[in-house]
Amino acid sequence: MGSLEEPLNQLSAKELTAGIARGRFTVEEIIDACLAHITAREDTLGAWAYLDGEAALVQARDLDSGPVRGPLHGVPVGIKDVFDTFDMPTEMGSPIYTGHRPANDASVVAMLRAAGAVILGKTVTAEFAGMFPGKTVNPHDPARTPGGSSSGSAAAVADDMVPVALGSQTGGSVLRPASFCGVIGFKPSYGAISRVGLKFAAESLDTVGIFARSIDDVALVTDVFTGQALAAGGEVAQEPVIGFCRTFLWETAASETTAALEDAKARLEAAGATLTEVGMAEAFAGLAEARDRINAYERAHAMAFEWHHHRSDISDRLSVTLAQGFATPYDDYMGAIKFAENMRTGLDDLFGANDVLLVPCVPGVAPLGLESTGDPAFQGLWTILHVPTITLPTHQSDDGLPVGIQLVGRPRDDHHLLSVARWVMARAGAQ
Amino acid sequence: MGSLEEPLNQLSAKELTAGIARGRFTVEEIIDACLAHITAREDTLGAWAYLDGEAALVQARDLDSGPVRGPLHGVPVGIKDVFDTFDMPTEMGSPIYTGHRPANDASVVAMLRAAGAVILGKTVTAEFAGMFPGKTVNPHDPARTPGGSSSGSAAAVADDMVPVALGSQTGGSVLRPASFCGVIGFKPSYGAISRVGLKFAAESLDTVGIFARSIDDVALVTDVFTGQALAAGGEVAQEPVIGFCRTFLWETAASETTAALEDAKARLEAAGATLTEVGMAEAFAGLAEARDRINAYERAHAMAFEWHHHRSDISDRLSVTLAQGFATPYDDYMGAIKFAENMRTGLDDLFGANDVLLVPCVPGVAPLGLESTGDPAFQGLWTILHVPTITLPTHQSDDGLPVGIQLVGRPRDDHHLLSVARWVMARAGAQ
């Protein structure tokens, strides 16, 4: 054991489970390495809402003392603090829930534990997975936002505190922080993964997401949640057919985003992929307003209890959204729901013959300042369409800040999207 | 005050709020009347999982001492024990959650309180809103099932313990007990009402439902949940155009069901409605298997925590379903999801020019015995189609047991369905 070339906290989940299987190190050694790195960095980064090192070591020793429990045996995972955990507080980034202890685990947490993962701790979330930020900073520049709302999960994975973390996306809460922090962020198809024990932000949009530093790890965790070795099937057999879709937001993107997309396009073409420019019907632009309306209405209803019992503990920013939501006429809400449903029926036309779409992920690099977690427009468009999307940390700005690209899959075609992403990840990087 | 012709527990929510507004009685008197009736009947009926009369009276006095809080001011409501309540246990019909106290209210409960309702207590649910029954019996014959899983809510409303109660429907858990107990049961469109704080059974099917003895009351509560006076608009202006759809289950229905449907058809035609026989494409029959598959897969995932930590406290019946769910390949699950989505696109063709469909609600009257809550096939077909449905207590068998009819609305056309139901309710009854 010991004497490894690479510190254990820098290994992927796949490497960790392989190393444990070969007896190269123990789960306890993994957790020790992660905790040591967190101790060194957490004061700067602020990625964790709750961390009990001793309790994590108890989980580790328990795993070391028994047989291999499952495909994530010994893998430390960070859990966004909007998922219930029976053995840790779940505070949702809100003083309303200071010290709150749920009676059970969210289903995804229970499935991770059953697969052998060590639930290392709870990562910082913006207030109720919204726009009011927590304490986390960007690991590449502490003066910049890490993005949100899954701020702590993105930062913790980017900083090698954990190989894998969970998030949730209602607008752009997984892909935006992943792009800003320089890691992979995967939002499966709406409905693909159980949300039991997730505090809903907006029920018809909320989707469980995964942060990791490799496609292998995204696939490993996805397989645990779907109960099937779906995503681990490796690369696509043939060069993918990719639609290059600038979207109606292209003109609002900074040069680092447009440059990353154009560069990725060129590299993928050079590697043998077929790329075709895909135009987006003008009607898709209406999805931004529809998403805002649905988000406000459903958030208000989701927070009826907090609104009526703890209003003074809700941030001003969220209160404005909730007040808008409660004031939204049901017919307007239902109009937005029907508009979104109708636009989803146009996805076949949008994709055409393409396996996936290559689209911008963020307006640009992580903005300076910690008051805003950035603009969710580039991600929210796809969230309301319910399609699977993934961001890959393929590019950087001139001054070395990460800027991810985004791949979008057809509805419920998550497996194929991950296979294409694996192919793209190996070829699109500019670094 | 006092000296009323009708006992207060027999009044509708609309009558109660009108009486309070006119100063005819107090909220405390209403609660006193309900509690007295419950005391007399609960030993026989077993409708309540939790009831604290003194706490209900505290709520009542609080309402009496202030201004009118909202459109349900003073209305006692029973809450199916799968919805979280901050001031009462939420046990979900399972020994796993004996004495469990959530930190907050489900959104629907919070909205009821904010509208002035008295949360009288928690009503009996089958285990986790599934098929393993609780203690409730049918108020028309204690040797018969009340139906399930919202057993206590249906029985409590039928027996005049409360005018209104909440339920949830994943297969037929609102409409079946409503039909068996002889009350109105309304399942809105999937997604129309917030499910935050509802323990999910199967996430892509679960829908909040309402039990009441009048359409007015169903409309009143629906309006509170949608934040808009949607449903209270009264009857349809013109005689409705109704499709009479026997469904592929017709041959499995008992004579009391087929007789009720044929009689309703004749009465509605006589009253001026246009009724047309509507055939159902054979493919719809596949929805039964699809619903079973989705139900098992999603239930298993929803109960990952309980399965891994409390398996010995799960009933054998539910354990079989959960084991099936965990063993269901993801591709099979996704196939069922896609099949259901595809069938939903055929609803326009099925409805044709009809405003609503008139269809059977149950195979027949409530079966003898308490081991089974009855067959959900007649309701589950529409649940998986996500359409709004309502059962009306229009008919009885020869020996006086209730057998409801079912009206089905177009997708998200809940308002219109309630208006047609109001018209039908006044004309279709055989009593």
B118-123 vs B76-80, strand pairing mode: parallel
User: Quick one: average pLDDT of B245-257?
Assistant: 97
pTM above 0.95, yes or no: yes
Cα angle for residues A358, A362, A364 (degrees, 5° grid): 120
B118-123 vs B207-212, strand pairing mode: unpaired
In the residue annotation, B80 being an active-site residue is answered as: yes
Residue A386, Cβ density class (10 Å: 0-12 exposed, 13-18 middle, ≥19 buried): buried
Question: In chain A, what is the straight-line distance between the N-terminal and C-terminal CA atoms, in Å?
Answer: 33
Indicate the helix (H) or strand (E) that contains A167: strand A164-169
Owner of token pair 């309900």: B34
pLDDT of residue A6: 81
Mean pLDDT of residues grouped by 10 in chain A (431 residues)?
72 97 97 98 98 97 97 98 98 98 98 98 98 98 98 98 98 98 98 96 98 96 87 75 97 98 97 96 96 98 98 98 96 97 96 97 98 97 98 97 98 94 90 50
Distance of CA B158 to the CA centre of its chain: 12
- pLDDT, tens digit, 9 for 90 and up, residues A390-412: 999 999 999 999 999 999 999 99
User: Quick one: average pLDDT of B233-243?
Assistant: 86
Domains and CATH numbers, chain A: 12-233 (3.90.1300.10)
pLDDT of residue A2: 45
Average pLDDT, chain B: 96
Q: Do B330 and A227 touch (CB under 8 A)?
A: yes
Strand partners of residue A144? A368, A369
In the residue annotation, A65 being an active-site residue is answered as: no
Q: Do A111 and B301 touch (CB under 8 A)?
A: yes
**Which residue type sits at A211?**
F
B305 → closest Cβ in A105, A298, A307: A105
Q: Which DSSP category does B93 fall into?
A: T
Q: Which two tokens stand for residue B17?
A: 């709020």
A-interface mutation test, from B109, B113, B298, B330, most A Cβ less than 10 A away:
B330
Residue of A nearest to B205 (CA): A191
Among the options B12, B14, B80, B214, which is catalytic? B80
Residues in chain A with CB shorter than 8 Å from the CB of B301 are 107, 111, 194, 196
Q: Which DSSP category does B401 fall into?
A: -
B313 to chain A, minimum CA–CA distance in Å?
15
pLDDT of residue A18: 97
pLDDT of residue A235: 74
pLDDT of residue A232: 53
User: Quick one: average pLDDT of B90-100?
Assistant: 98
A207-212 vs A274-277, strand pairing mode: unpaired
Report the C-alpha gap between B219 and B210 in whole angstroms.
Answer: 10
Q: Is A238 helix (H, G, I), strand (E, B) or coil?
A: coil
Q: Do A110 and B304 touch (CB under 8 A)?
A: yes
Contacts of B106 (CB under 8 A, 6+ apart): A305, B79, B83, B84, B85, B195, B196, B197, B198
Residue B431, Cβ density class (10 Å: 0-12 exposed, 13-18 middle, ≥19 buried): exposed
Among the options A12, A107, A149, A204, which is catalytic? A149
Q: Do B301 and A113 touch (CB under 8 A)?
A: no
Q: Which residues of B58-85 are buried (b: 16+ CB within 10 A; e: fewer)?
A: ebbeebbeeeeeebbbbbbbbbbbbbbb
- pLDDT, tens digit, 9 for 90 and up, residues B201-215: 999 999 999 999 999
Q: Is B368 helix (H, G, I), strand (E, B) or coil?
A: strand
Residue of A nearest to B310 (CA): A104
Q: Is B282 helix (H, G, I), strand (E, B) or coil?
A: helix
B231 to chain A, minimum CA–CA distance in Å?
11
Residues in chain B with CB shorter than 8 Å from the CB of A337 are 191, 412
Q: Is A326 helix (H, G, I), strand (E, B) or coil?
A: helix
pLDDT at residue B370 above 80?
yes
A110 to chain B, minimum CA–CA distance in Å?
5
Q: Which DSSP category does B421 fall into?
A: H
In the residue annotation, B3 being an active-site residue is answered as: no
Among the options A168, A173, A179, A214, which is catalytic? A173
For B251, other C-beta atoms within 10 Å of its C-beta total: 8
A196 → closest Cβ in B105, B109, B302: B302
Q: Which residues of A174-185 are buried (b: 16+ CB within 10 A; e: fewer)?
A: bbbbbbbbbbbb
Report the C-alpha gap between B260 and B395 in whole angstroms.
Answer: 6
Question: How many residue contacts between A and B have a Cβ separation below 8 Å?
Answer: 120
Select from B37, B115, B138, B119 the least CA-distant residue to B79: B119
- pLDDT, tens digit, 9 for 90 and up, residues B275-327: 999 999 999 999 999 999 999 999 999 999 999 999 999 999 999 999 999 99
Select from A336, A378, A335, A376 the least CA-distant residue to A357: A378
Q: How confident is the model at residue B231 (pLDDT cuts 50, 70, 90)?
A: low
